[in-house]
A and B are shown apart, each in its own frame.
Chain A
Amino acid sequence: MIAMDIRIDIPDHQPQPLQPILRMVNISKNFGAVQALKNVDLELYHAEILGLVGDNAAGKSTLMKILAGVLRPDTGQIFIEDRPESFKSPRDARSMGIEMVYQDFALCKNMWIAGNVFMAREIVREIIGRTFSVLDKKQMADRSRKILEEQKVSIGSCKKRAGELSGGQQQSVAIARALGFNARIVIMDEPTASLGVKQASRLLEIAQSLPQKGISAIYISHRMQDIFSICHRVMVHKTGEKVGDFRIKEVSVDEIVRLMILGKQGNGVETNSIR
Chain B
Amino acid sequence: MKEKTTTGIPEYSHIPPERLVKRVKIISKIQGNMILSLAIIILSIFLSFKTEGFFTTYNLINVLRQISLTSLMAIGFGIVVITGGMDISMGNVAAMVGMTVAGLFAIMKVNLFVSLVISLALGLGIGLLNGAVIAYLGVPPFIATLAMMFISQGITFEFTQGYPIYEGLTSNFLYIGQGYIGPLPVPVIIMIAMFILAHFFLNNTVLGQHIYSIGGNENAARVTGVNVSRVKLITYGISGFFAALTGVVMTARLGSAQPAAAGMDFFLTAATAAVLGGTELSGGVGNMLGILLGALFLGILNNGLTLLKISAYFQWIVTGILLILAIVWHTTQKSASGGKY
Contacts and interface: CB of A to CB of B under 8 A. Distances in A.
B226 A119 contact: yes
A180 interface: yes
A134 B204 contact: yes
B84 to A, nearest CB: 10
A186 interface: no
B18 interface: yes
A103 to B, nearest CB: 12
Interface in B211-239: 212-213, 215-217, 219-227, 234
Per DSSP, are chain B's interface residues mostly helix, strand or loop, or mixed? helix
Contacts of A108: 212-213, 216-217, 220-221, 284
Interface in A113-155: 115, 119-124, 130-135, 137-138, 141-143, 146
Contacts of B210: 120
B209 interface: yes
Interface residues on A, range: 35 or more
Interface string B77-119: 0000000000000000000000000000000000000000000
Given A108-B216, A182-B8, A89 B227 contact: yes
A100 interface: yes
Interface in B186-227: 204-207, 209-210, 212-213, 215-217, 219-227
A91 B228 CA distance: 11
B285 interface: yes
A216 to B, nearest CB: 18
Contacts of B284: 108-111
A123 B7 contact: yes
B205 A133 contact: yes
A91 B230 CA distance: 14
B21 A94 contact: no
Contacts of A180: 9
A264 interface: no
Contacts of B225: 89-91, 94, 119-121
A118 to B, nearest CB: 8
A205 interface: no
Contacts of B207: 131-132
Contacts of A68: 223
A158 B9 CA distance: 17
Q: Which of B8, B21, B225 has the most CB of A within 10 A?
A: B225
Nearest to B9: A143
Given A90-B223, A91-B227, A119-B226, 5 more contacts: A109-B341, A111-B216, A124-B206, A157-B24, A164-B340
12 contacts: A102-B220, A110-B212, A110-B284, A119-B224, A120-B210, A120-B221, A132-B207, A133-B205, A134-B204, A138-B18, A157-B21, A181-B8
